Amino acid sequence: MKNILVIGSTGQIGSELTRELRKNYGNENVVAGYIPGAEPTGELKESGPSAIADVTNPQQIAEVVKSYHIDTIYNLAALLSVVAESKPRLAWKIGIDGLWNILEVARENHCAVFTPSSIGSFGPTTPHDMTPQDTIQRPKTIYGVSKVTTELLSDYYYHKYGVDTRAVRFPGVISYVTPPGGGTTDYAVDIYYNAVRGDQFVCPIQAGTKMDMIYMPDALKAAMMIMEANPDKLIHRNAFNIASMSFDPEEIYAAIKKYKPEFEMVYQVDPLKQSIAESWPNMMDDTCARNEWQWKPTYDLDSMTKDMLEKLTIKLGC
C-alpha cells in the first residue's frame, strides 16, 4: 500500500483507521473520504488530505482515485445493523450499489479493495460455537444480507477481473474514541461510559447472550495486516473470521466490577437488538486467519476493560 483512500473516514471504524494508516504510511498518503454533512474535523482534518467520496457517485470516486494516485481503497461506507433495519433500501444502496461502484473503479484503476464483513453475515442456522470459516450464511437482517452479498461480490471481482479484494468479518467493535452509532453490540461500549460516569447501566441484551467482540486496536491491526498479507498465502479472501473475545452482559459487568465495585446494571431487553444478537455467533473459529496471515489479537476482556476505563476516565474528565 502506498496511496490509500478511506471511504467512510468519519465513521465508527473509519475515523480511527484513517489515523492509524497515517501513522504507518504517512499523513499525505492517506486520503480521508467523506460525504457532505460528515466532514472530517480536528486532527482527522488537519493531519492529512481529505476529499468528498460518496460511494453512490462512481465518477466522484474515480476522480479522487486518479487525483491522488490511489492504489488501495478501504471501503467502510455502511449503515450499522439496527439502523439498517429501519432503512433497508438505503442500507442496500450504500452497502451494495456503492460497493459495485467501488469495485468498478478499482478494476479500471488497478486498486486493491478492503470492504469489511461482519458476524452479522451469519444467521440463526449457522453453527454458533466456533463458527467455521466456510459455513452456512442465511442472515435474517438486511445488514446481514448486504454483508453476505459484499463477500460474494468481492470474490466475484477477484475471480472474474483479478481485483485484489480482501476482507475480515469483524466481531462487535469496542472503542473509547468514537461513540456507538446504532449497532447491536453497542451495549458493550455504552456500559463503559456509564461505569466511568457512575451511572447505572440499563442493558438491552439479555443475560447469557454471548457475542464475539474485538477491541478497536485489534480491529485496526487486522484491517492493515490482511491488506499487507502475501497474496500467495491466501486461500480465502472475502472474508476471514477473526476472533478476540466472546462474552455475555454478565461477564463484561463482572470485568468492570473488578475496577468499579459500586457499578450497577439492570436489564431492559430491546426485542430487535436481542433477536439480532441471538442470530449471531457466540464465537468464530479464526484458524484460517491465524494460518494464512498470522492473525493474533492483543487484547482479552480484562486487558480491554482496564484500558477502556483508563482512557474514558481521561476523556470524560471523571
Instruction: Say how far apart CA 229 and CA 240 lie, in whole Å.
Output: 12
CB contact at 8 A, 125 and 79: no
As a whole number, mean pLDDT of residues 285-289 equals: 98
Select the CATH number that applies to the domain covering 4-171+214-241 from these four: 1.10.1060.10, 3.40.50.720, 3.90.1150.10, 3.40.50.12140. 3.40.50.720
pLDDT of residue 262: 96
Calculate Rg over the CA atoms of the chain.
19
Helix axes 142-161, 98-109, angle to 10 degrees: 20
**Residue 63 pLDDT exceeds 90:** yes
Confidence of residue 289 (pLDDT cuts 50, 70, 90): very high
Portions of the chain given CATH number 3.90.25:
176-213+245-280+299-316
Any idea what DSSP says for residue 180? P
Confidence of residue 79 (pLDDT cuts 50, 70, 90): confident
Instruction: Say how far apart CA 136 and CA 123 lie, in whole Å.
Output: 8
Instruction: Say how far apart CA 238 and CA 158 lie, in whole Å.
Output: 10
How confident is the prediction for the chain on average, in pLDDT?
Answer: 95
pLDDT of residue 318: 81
pLDDT of residue 80: 82
**Residue 148 is inside which H or E element, if any?**
helix 142-161
Question: Which residue in 78, 114, 74, 76 sits closest to 94, CA to CA?
Answer: 78
CB contact at 8 A, 132 and 122: no
As a whole number, mean pLDDT of residues 256-264 equals: 97
Question: Ramachandran region of residue 5, left (φ > 0), alpha (ψ -120 to 50) or beta?
Answer: beta
- Overall size of the chain counted in residues: 318
Question: Which residue in 257, 235, 237, 238 sits closest to 302, CA to CA?
Answer: 257
Could you identify the residue written with the cell 456500559?
Answer: 191
pLDDT of residue 83: 87
**Residue 205 pLDDT exceeds 90:** yes
- State percent of the chain over pLDDT 70: 99
Does the domain made of 176-213+245-280+299-316 have the CATH classification 3.40.30?
Answer: no
**Residue 49 pLDDT exceeds 90:** yes
Portions of the chain given CATH number 3.40.50.720:
4-171+214-241
pLDDT tens-place string over residues 146-188:
999 999 999 999 999 999 999 999 999 999 998 777 678 899 9
pLDDT tens-place string over residues 213-238:
999 999 999 999 999 999 999 999 99
Q: How far is CA 210 from CA 82, 94, 130, 133, 245, in A?
A: 18, 29, 12, 19, 10
How far is Cα of residue 208 from the mean position of the Cα atoms in its chain?
24
Instruction: Say how far apart CA 102 and CA 105 lie, in whole Å.
Output: 5
Provide the CB-side half-sphere exposure for 142 (13 A, CA): 18
Q: Which residues are annotated as catalytic?
A: 143
